[in-house]
Amino acid sequence: MDKERKAISRLKISVIRVIRGQKKERRKMNKEDKIYIAGHNGLVGSAILNNLKAKGYSNFLLRSSKELDLTNQKATEEFFEKEKPEYVFLAAAHVGGIVANNVYRADFIFNNLQIQNNVIGSAYKYGVKKLLFLGSTCIYPALCPQPMKEDYLLTSTLEYTNEPYAIAKIAGLKMCESFNIQYGTNFIAVMPTNLYGPNDNFDLEKSHVLPALIRKAHLGKALINKDWECIRKDLNTYPVEGVDGNSSKDDILDKLEKYGITQTNNVVSIEIWGSGKPLREFLWSEEMADACVFVMERVDFQDLKPKNGEDIKNLHINIGTGKEISIKDLAFLIAKKVGFNGDIVFNADKPDGTMRKLTDPSKLHALGWHHSIEIDEGIERMYDWYISK
């Protein structure tokens, strides 16, 4: 019996050593490992790709949405089976601002669920070592205590205007969590705050508030200066509902007015949805990317699990600054940086959305990462990038 006990004990020790060795190996992402960035052309994915390149990674699997439709389960599985990525950044998503979220509700929940199901399911099926799922802080309740801690998830009802998108992101977060619990995968979910930066979406209907305000201020400034060359150049880069730089002045003015850029009796104004009172937190996209790579390189799901036997839940990580600004102050700050000196009109008949969405990034801080670019500097960088395009 003693010999059997000793043999069992030696076996247990060997198993523990193997598991620990696997964990150590799993934690390390080598420069030559195959890395798939889903959504590498977007605001989030392009920033992650650039960050990885700067750190010396070079073995990337990149597919545009035209080359690989992630809403197609068969195509997604075939890609994973053939390419066998070792690390996955799931940054692909159907995204937009308050207008798009409220109007295209079915698209936001259906498309995002399909993308997540296909990528996360394929990552498990084909043995991905580690996956990072990018969600959004809209997952938290509309009347969430501030700042928002990870533990506040699912404690109350969501904000109505972006409820479908939020539900999809919660499902993705819980899918990662559930696969980890049941199958021992290493899938981590991060929830970035409002992002802005290079390759942002400047579509006047579907963009988020900060890039939309930058473009409105830019076009408003051009109207004040009667700089039609600037306006036509802008519309050639980003046409609005078929209206581009080759359209007539009347057609251009009509389309701009539809999206709140109005010229009346030589007075130019830009309209902003809501009262301007909501507070928002903004993070420069390149810093978000740095936080994501930091987590992928240094944090495993095992590191996030509670040590006291509590339920395994809410192990996602907020990525934010912990600082906020009102939409009104943001609008005037952007106007100042861009050089727009016309009128700014707040349409209180339109929805405000959630009144406050401030993250608590203390979990990320405890892991060792902090932001450094503040909103003033970020807006200057953003506008410089925009006019360079």
pLDDT, block means (10 residues), the chain with 389 residues: 48 39 58 97 94 98 96 98 98 84 91 98 98 96 95 95 94 98 97 93 88 97 97 96 96 96 94 94 97 97 90 96 97 98 95 88 97 97 94
**pLDDT value for 104:** 87
Residues 6+ apart with CB under 8 A from 208: 96, 97, 194, 195, 196, 200, 201
CA 109 to chain centre: 16
Q: Which domains does the chain have, with CATH numbers?
A: 31-200+281-324+356-375 (3.40.50.720)
Q: Could you identify the residue written with the tokens 């981590």?
A: 188
User: Residue 90: left if φ>0, alpha if ψ -120 to 50, beta else—which one?
Assistant: beta
Q: Are 320 and 374 within 8 A, CB to CB?
A: no
Q: What are phi and psi of 304, to 5 degrees?
A: -95, -15
Structure tokens at 299: 């944090």
Residue 57 annotated as catalytic? no
Q: How far apart are CA 171 and CA 117, in angstroms?
A: 9
> What Cα–Cα distance (Å) separates residue 46 from each residue in 7, 265, 285?
53, 43, 9
Collapsing DSSP to helix, strand or coil, 5 comes out as: helix
Burial 83-113 (b: 16+ CB within 10 A, else e): eebbbbbbbbbbbbbbbbbbebbeebbebbb
Q: How far apart are CA 98 and CA 278, in angstroms?
A: 13
Catalytic residue (one of 124, 165, 196, 259): 165
Q: What is the Cα gyration radius of the chain?
A: 23
Angle between helices 249-258 and 228-237 (to 10 degrees): 70
Collapsing DSSP to helix, strand or coil, 156 comes out as: coil
Residue among 247, 276, 272 nearest 260 (CA): 272
Q: How far apart are CA 389 and CA 246, in angstroms?
A: 18
Structure tokens at 98: 């308050």
Q: Could you identify the residue written with the tokens 């802005």?
A: 196
Q: How far apart are CA 301 and CA 315, in angstroms?
A: 8
Q: Are 375 and 196 within 8 A, CB to CB?
A: no
Q: Are 356 and 278 within 8 A, CB to CB?
A: yes
Structure tokens at 317: 């990580």
